[in-house]
Amino acid sequence: MNPNEIIKLKTGHRRMRGALAIFLAVLMIYGLRLVQLQALDAPQLAAAAAEKRTRTLILPAQRGEITDRKGAPLAITVDARNITVDQTMVQDPAGTANAIAQITGADATLLQADLTGDKKFKYVLKKITPEQWTAINQLKLPGIFSEKTSTRIYPSNSLAASTIGFVGGEDRGMAGLEFGFEKELAGSSGEVTVEISAAGRSLPSGVASQVTPQPGIGIRLTIDRDLQFVAEQALAQKVEYAQADSGTLVAISPKTGKILALVTYPTFDSNNPQDAIATTINNHALVDAYEPGSTAKVITMAGLLNEGVANPATKFTVPPVIKRNGKTFHDHDPHGVLQLTLTGILAKSSNIGTIQASELMGAEKFNEYLLKFGVGQETGMHFPGESNGRLASLEKWSGTSFPTFAFGQGYMVSAVQIASMYATIANDGVRVNPSLIEGYVLPDGKFQAATESLKTEVIRPEVAQTLREMMETVVSDEGTAPLAAIPGYRVAGKTGTSQVVDQNCKCYGNIVIASFIGMAPAEDPEIVVAVALHNPKNGRWGGLLAGPVFKEVAQYALQQGNIPPSTGKPMGYPVKW
């Protein structure tokens, strides 16, 4: 055999073995890679693939409705849609933007910017109507998706706005009851995961998983929508006439403590809270406290009658001024020596006479009545930001606190608190804590009544009746509020023109609060209405400014409730002796 041929043969075997080794190495690499892909990296790869072909969408819970006492809607939720985009799937940003803009009216240039980029998820438009989304969806635009959402609507716009409040951009309550009852109203959101095609469109049968949202609880208020409307119109008209800074009105059922109308003016539109002036958002009848002035003299009278130290005809000689602990007190109008009964002191709203009368029971006993009537106490309404008022403890009273407190200065109450005090007198001396919530509408549609309000006996029934008869003289021609009289009905009430402390000098300035609080029919009251105008510039006295507002609102409430006219006549207690 030729040696050269043998050498060539050996060289060929080595090449074959080398090629085989390389082939086996390649196979091993592929095998290892296959093991890695199918075993080690399989979960991560599967998750990545699933992420590319699925989208998880939030399913918002239906927010609970807020209604009036009869079920009339005050805050409702309607269906809406949010448009989202996977920018990596959009094939023609300009064309897609123009198509969406034509349907929604949005700015095409801004839309195009939102549609351009490499983000897998981005909001494009929020809270469009379902009809608009249907039109967009029919265009089958790659990368364009939607999620169900909702939008809050306030059918009556500004009606009871400061009580109801509003929701913000994230559908969370931002003020009023919407804020205070956020947890109950909101419910809990759900979610759904859907599969999408390579073109970026949802597959009809591609629901991978779903968590059902839980709807919120509805709230039924004690407010009567029709009475609220009448009260808002009446108060707004008088605030504008008086050129006042603001006004409040509280209408309450004395027998139940339920608030039937709760008004602050100026107000705002809950549908457009971004346009509201900041001060109009707060419910000033609940969150603000002020010195009640002469309207609080009825508490002094209630204590005197209940203690038996005076009666409606008790005689007082009222001097032009009176001094107590180095301070001189005056009445609102200068006068000589007056001979007034206890009824006359109330009818003429004499500060001096009230001080004289209060001393018959003493400071300690008077303080007990202030507390029992609710001064400085929680109302139990739990409204966000609600004020408890202010009353210094007895041991902190100065030498002039007692005479000053006797005619309603030096301590503070909210408009709802003072209305509740009058409701106590109207309810034969039993204080029923005021309430704003009638009950709750559960997700299954069942109604759950709110817990009954706490009741406290403050004065005896016969004392309350006597006091109401005394208060009728205020609305007579001899009193300070004849404009509050309602034809056919006996009316009991009290005026007030309280001074506001100037924070610069820590003294009483020129700003006043003109108020009137009344009840009707006086013999068996069904309605109490408290009206206050803050810093009026056209007029000053509560009887002239607030009295007519009371008349309009109370008269409507009596007619609405089919309350028969009064049959008896006032006792006619003497004013002078």
Regarding whether 424 and 276 lie in a shared domain, the answer is yes
Q: How far, in Å, CA of 296 to CA of 404, rounded? A: 11
> Rg of the chain over CA atoms, in angstroms?
37
Regarding whether 229 and 213 lie in a shared domain, the answer is no
Taking only the tens place, the pLDDT of each residue in 241-290 is 999 999 999 999 999 999 999 999 999 999 999 999 999 999 999 999 99
Range of the domain at 150: 64-88+101-221
Regarding whether 368 and 243 lie in a shared domain, the answer is yes
Q: How many domains does the chain have?
A: 2
List the catalytic residue out of 294, 350, 420, 435: 294
Q: Are 133 and 81 in contact (CB under 8 A)?
A: yes
How would residue 53 be classed by pLDDT, with cut points 50, 70 and 90?
A: low
Regarding whether 320 and 355 lie in a shared domain, the answer is yes
Q: How far, in Å, CA of 447 to CA of 67, rounded? A: 12
Q: How far, in Å, CA of 517 to CA of 496, rounded? A: 8
Regarding whether 168 and 254 lie in a shared domain, the answer is no
**Where is the domain boundary, 221, 238, 273?**
221
Regarding whether 117 and 181 lie in a shared domain, the answer is yes
**CATH number reported for the structural domain that contains residue 336 in this entry:** 3.40.710.10
**Residue 7 domain-assigned?**
no
Q: Are 554 and 527 in contact (CB under 8 A)?
A: yes
Regarding whether 380 and 479 lie in a shared domain, the answer is yes
**Residue 343 domain-assigned?**
yes
**Residue 20 domain-assigned?**
no
Tell me how crowded residue 490 is: count the other CB atoms within 10 A of its CB.
Answer: 23
**Where is the domain boundary, 221, 248, 279?**
221
Greatest CA span in the chain, whole angstroms?
Answer: 161
Q: How far, in Å, CA of 348 to CA of 58, rounded? A: 65
Whether 476 is catalytic is no
More confident of the two residues 441 and 332? 441
**Res 7: pLDDT:** 46
**Res 47: pLDDT:** 55
How would residue 451 be classed by pLDDT, with cut points 50, 70 and 90?
A: very high
At how many degrees (to 10) do helices 130-137 and 93-104 cross?
150
**CATH number reported for the structural domain that contains residue 201 in this entry:** 3.90.1310.10
Taking only the tens place, the pLDDT of each residue in 142-165 is 999 988 888 999 999 999 999 999
Helices (H), 259-414: 278-281, 284-287, 297-307, 342-348, 351-358, 363-372, 401-406
Regarding whether 162 and 255 lie in a shared domain, the answer is no
Taking only the tens place, the pLDDT of each residue in 413-424 is 999 999 999 999
Regarding whether 307 and 402 lie in a shared domain, the answer is yes
Regarding whether 536 and 489 lie in a shared domain, the answer is yes
**Residue 2 domain-assigned?**
no
CA distances to 4, 254, 445, 491, 541 from 484, rounded to whole Å, are: 136, 19, 43, 8, 13
Q: Which two tokens stand for residue 213?
A: 């949202």
**Res 35: pLDDT:** 61
Regarding whether 248 and 109 lie in a shared domain, the answer is no
For residue 516, pLDDT beyond 50? yes
Q: Are 281 and 264 in contact (CB under 8 A)?
A: no
Regarding whether 423 and 343 lie in a shared domain, the answer is yes
Instruction: Give pTM, 2 decimals.
Output: 0.84
**Res 213: pLDDT:** 84
